[in-house]
Amino acid sequence: MANKVQQTVSLLYGEENGKFHDKYIYTTGHYPSSVISGDFNNDNRLDLVVVNTNDDNITMFLNEGNDIFSKQFSYATGGSPSSIISKDFNNDNELDLVVTNNDDDNISVLLGNGDGTFQTQRTYNVGANPTSVTSDDFNNDRNLDLAVVNAEDNTMSILLGNGDGTFQQQNIYETGYYPTLVISGDFNNDNYVDLVVTAYRGITFSIFFGNGNGTFRNQLKYVIDSRAWSLTSGDFNNDNKLDIAVANTHENTVSILLNNGDETFQNGIKYATGSDPHYLLSGDLNNDNRLDLMVINVADSTFNVLLGNGDGYFRTQPTYATGTDPHCLTFGDFNNDNRIDIAVTSVGDNTLNVLLNNGYGHFQMQPMYTTGHYPVSVIFSDFNNDHKLDLAIANGDDNTISILLANQYGTFNNQSTYASGNYPHDVISNDFNNDTKLDVIVVNAFENTISVLLGNGDGTFQNQSTYETGNYPVSVVSGYFNNDFILDLAVINYQDHNVSILLGKGNGMFQNQTTYRTGTSPYSIVAADFNNDRKQDLAIANSDNNTVSILLGNGNGTFQSEIRYDTGRHPNFIISGDFNNDAKLDIVVANSKDNTISVLLGKGDGTFESQIKRNTATLPVSIISGDFNNDMKLDIAVTNLGSNDVSVFLNECK
């Protein structure tokens, strides 16, 4: 009988000090050889795409939030796909994919639809056995082009992009012997894109300096001491010149080659790694504004972290275990804590590992706890009044809630489970029956209900009571909508384009819903008093028609018809506050598709001025406000998933 091999992917989540914790494992296809991250369905969460070499396809894992991924769709590629990149190749602001197909000597281009799905592939011929692809604007026409290295015929293919997702026929350049990886960057500071290629069997890497018109000068070869499978670039000594780091597979080292600025590089500074280092990435793991390195070691199934000093030198950190035969890694902020996390594919046991970053350049493995199937939402509260934060988890696939009570030192007891409705999607906690004990409310997306579980004060809960909502409820907030000091609920119904109001009775029960129209696909909601009448109002970000809906409260649990205000494209997060110090509440919205925030200044009567837009970095996902410089004014910080950074807007109001 043949051995049955489990196919999985692991995620390791990062904290701000560069450490990582909590390895999560997900099933993939056969021989997962590469992985990338990106927000493929425009929900402001980083998703993952895994290349399954032996299945001739790719698999999409959509990020459901709360550190959970769901396996979604698979898409056909060519024969033996090996590497993958993601960018917007047709200029529609949606992420697309390019995959190299080793057996077919071509590449597949899959254009994204913006909802996590992709169009059928279109293929383009390249050289023999393409192993790696990169993309940049090689001819300065503002359209993305492709560079592909072909291992068996020792060439590099250049395919210029037309800007509509199609590409011109290849132009071919000779490389060193058996090229395995290509990266791009401006290595001589002439504002033209250059290319660097490893030649595994020739013990060299080559630089092709760009002419700015889509052509390149003949390669300049640099001899290294050992066979290099992978390399990366970055300004490791902060001199505004791109340096190179090379993984030396036969020597078990990483070499750092500092850029002299005259198209030459200094001899490499070497650092020990694990056995057979194959894959290399650079990024700021510990938030000190200095580039660090991550190295995957195939032979001993580990990875290393080297923290950069900012002067071209690095500090070696502990080694961390992966799955068997780790093959590829990517990184991103998978749990939206502004720390770089890591995802590693392992072909020996077909796994994907996710490591959460703790900070300081270390990855801390934490205990793993059993939940229900497909846990999609989690909250922290003290459910048993012992002054420790417990967990409540919504398990989408088995329609339950898991309660994990906290022990000392950050550990938890085994879960207790409670029945919910069909596909619990969101969970909140508050005291809904006024007995000073925390209760739980769950939104059931597939059943169009909410479940109310009243707490007993000892960490246990009573059986659920359910109440109808609209179609596909996605989120819930609580507030005092009829001024009776009893908590009420507002539930966003994504597919009905409305919000349900359920007034509380004070005993943990709720009246039947009353619905109010919103814009298209409401996504985020806040409750506040926008017209200073001491009655709570609602502001809702409508993701698909680029508006904010304002519903003024009448103070009796009813609301006036919406008033809409324009925002940027795909508003996904909304907050309120007094940003101009006029004692009137304003609104700020993050717009993910045009990389902006919209500021709507309130007039104090429930109306707002036209938006003021400010540019952010790529894919703004969430907003917080606070007085960051102690000048008694509210400032704004925006988390940008696409660029892995934070935009800070200091308040300059007089």
- What are the phi and psi torsion angles at 69 (to 5°)? -120, 145
SS3 77: coil
pLDDT for 376 equals 60
- Position 251 scores a pLDDT of 81
Quick one: pLDDT at residue 52?
A: 87
pLDDT of residue 572: 86
Q: Which one, of 275, 228, 284, lies nearest residue 256 by Cα? A: 228
Where do we find the tokens 């045009």? 594
Q: Are 195 and 211 in contact (CB under 8 A)?
A: no
Query: Block means of pLDDT (10 residues each) for the chain, length 654 residues?
Result: 40 53 62 84 87 87 76 83 93 94 94 91 94 94 95 94 95 89 92 89 79 92 69 90 86 88 84 82 83 83 84 79 63 63 58 59 46 62 81 79 71 77 86 93 92 93 93 88 93 92 94 94 89 93 92 95 94 90 93 91 95 87 77 82 72 73
Q: What is the rounded CA–CA span in Å between residue 265 and residue 224?
A: 12
Res 4: pLDDT: 30
Closest CA to 549 of 601, 497, 621, 489: 497
pLDDT of res. 481: 95
Structure tokens at 445: 């997306």
Q: Long-range CB contacts (< 8 A, 24+ apart) of 499-504?
A: 499/470, 499/525, 499/538, 499/540, 499/551, 500/469, 500/470, 500/473, 501/557, 501/558, 501/559, 502/450, 502/467, 502/469, 503/557, 504/432
Compute φ and ψ for 409, nearest 5 degrees.
60, 30
pLDDT for residue 202 = 52
Residue 116 CA: distances (Å) to CA of 78, 225, 548, 591: 20, 43, 24, 18
Question: Given this model, what pLDDT does residue 216 score?
Answer: 95
Q: What is the 3-state secondary structure (H, E, C) of 478-530?
A: EECCCCCCCCEEEEEECCCCEEEEECECCCCCECCCEEEECCCCEEEEEEECC
Task: Please report the pLDDT score of residue 366 as a whole number.
Answer: 38
Per-residue pLDDT at 5: 36
Q: Residue 581 and residue 529: Cα distance in Å, rounded? A: 16
The CA radius of gyration of the chain, in Å to the nearest whole number, is 26
**Sole residue written with tokens 């092709």:** 208
pTM of the predicted structure, to 2 decimals: 0.53
| Cα atoms in the 13 Å half-sphere on the side-chain side of 386 | 11
Q: How far apart are CA 350 and CA 289, in angstroms?
A: 34
The predicted structure's pLDDT at residue 285: 80
> Looking up tokens 């109440």, which residue turns up?
467
